[in-house]
Amino acid sequence: MSADAQRIDLWLWQARFYKTRSLATAVVTKGRVRIARDGTIRRISKASTTVRPGDELTWPRNGKIVALEILALGERRGPAAEAQALYRLIENDETEQARD
Bigger pLDDT: 92 vs 18: 18
Return the CATH fold of 6-99.
3.10.290
Q: What is the pLDDT of residues 11-60, one digit of tens each?
A: 999 999 999 999 999 999 999 999 999 999 999 999 999 999 999 999 99
Phi-psi region of 33 (alpha: psi -120 to 50; beta: other; left: phi over 0): beta
Categorize the per-residue pLDDT at 2 as very low, low, confident or very high, splitting at 50, 70 and 90: low
* Integer Cα distance of 28 and 26 in angstroms: 5
Can you give the pLDDT at residue 33?
Answer: 96
Can you give the pLDDT at residue 31?
Answer: 95
- Per-residue pLDDT at 74 exceeds 60: yes
8: number of Cβ within 10 Å? 24
Domain boundaries, the chain: 6-99
Q: Count Cα atoms within 13 angstroms, Cβ side, for 31.
A: 2
What pTM does this model have?
A: 0.86
Q: Count Cα atoms within 13 angstroms, Cβ side, for 59.
A: 24
**Do residues 45 and 27 lie in contact, with contact meaning Cβ atoms separated by under 8 Å?**
no
DSSP 8-state secondary structure symbol assigned to residue 89: E
**Do residues 15 and 34 lie in contact, with contact meaning Cβ atoms separated by under 8 Å?**
no
Q: What is the pLDDT of residues 51-66, one digit of tens each?
A: 999 999 999 998 999 9
